[in-house]
Amino acid sequence: MHASPQSSIGQKALMAATGLILLAFVISHLLGNLLVFAGPEALNAYALKLRHMAPLLWLARALLLLAVVVHLWTSIRLSRQNRLARPVGYRRFRPGETSLSARTMLLSGVLLLAYLVYHLLQFTFHTTDPALAHLTDPLGNHDVYAMVITAFRNPWISCIYVVGMAALCAHLSHGFDSSFQSLGVNNERLLPLLQRVGQALSLAIFMGYSSIPVAVLLGIVKLR
């Protein structure tokens, strides 16, 4: 008898492991982005440093892409199996323990995916606004600072980002403790603690990311 990554527990472990990889990226990406508050020199120097670490950067990108693909693929399989497991539903069904974020993981996940595609088209591939690709700072490097501020001065774009981060917050407020449970790292005392840490962390991530478009719209962070 052998274990299988296609078993229910195997698939949940894949969800959790890939989810945690993505979470690690989300946190480090936030810390880098917050350099926008330190001014253009700091943010652009950080962006340049990342580019100089090209082999490592590509390795990280490949890992993230793999994580997204596995996470997505597995979530579709799991959701399908779960739907098939109850072909006839209840007339009255009153869950008493679960949370809104837990019941809407698929919805918040789909919103996240849409957000992710938009975000990459905008700031990585510069498809939505090609002009953003050609901004340079006084040192002749790509001006990430100007790019972010130019984009976020459009309230519609800022709004998309805040909504995207709200979806991330909802997804993680169940996903965080859920992934520890799925990986078998939990117990009676740890469970409520992990739930609270997950909620606090998701809220902090939401506020951290959203602070950037909000600060741009309020004129706290501006072009220099």
Contact 210, 161 (CB under 8 A): yes
Lookup: tokens for 62 = 């490949």
Q: Under rule CB under 8 A, which residues in 46-75 are in contact with other proteins?
A: none
Q: What angle do CA 154, 132, 161 make, to 5 degrees?
A: 40
- Is residue 75 at the binding interface for ligand HEM, with CB under 6 A as the rule? yes
Site string for other proteins, 148-187 (x = CB under 8 A): --------------------------x--xx--xxxxxxx
Q: How many CB atoms lie within 10 A of CB 132?
A: 19
Q: List Cα–Cα distances, 195 to 30, 107, 111, 156, 203, in angstroms.
A: 22, 20, 23, 33, 12
Residue 51 interacts, among other proteins, ligand HEM, none and using kind-specific CB cut-offs from 5 to 8 Å, with none
Instruction: Kindly tell me which residue out of 11, 16, 137, 216 binds ligand HEM, with binding defined by CB under 6 A.
Output: 16
Q: Under rule CB under 8 A, which residues in 80-109 are in contact with other proteins?
A: 81-82, 84-98, 102-103, 105
- Is residue 198 at the binding interface for ligand HEM, with CB under 6 A as the rule? no
For residue 142, the cross-strand partners are: 136
Residue 177 interacts, among ligand HEM, other proteins, none and using kind-specific CB cut-offs from 5 to 8 Å, with other proteins
- Is residue 27 at the binding interface for ligand HEM, with CB under 6 A as the rule? no
Contact 209, 25 (CB under 8 A): no
Residue 72 interacts, among other proteins, ligand HEM, none and using kind-specific CB cut-offs from 5 to 8 Å, with ligand HEM
For residue 129, the cross-strand partners are: none
Contact 221, 195 (CB under 8 A): no
**Which parts of this chain interact with other proteins (CB under 8 A)?**
1-4, 7-13, 78, 81-82, 84-98, 102-103, 105, 174, 177-178, 181-188, 191
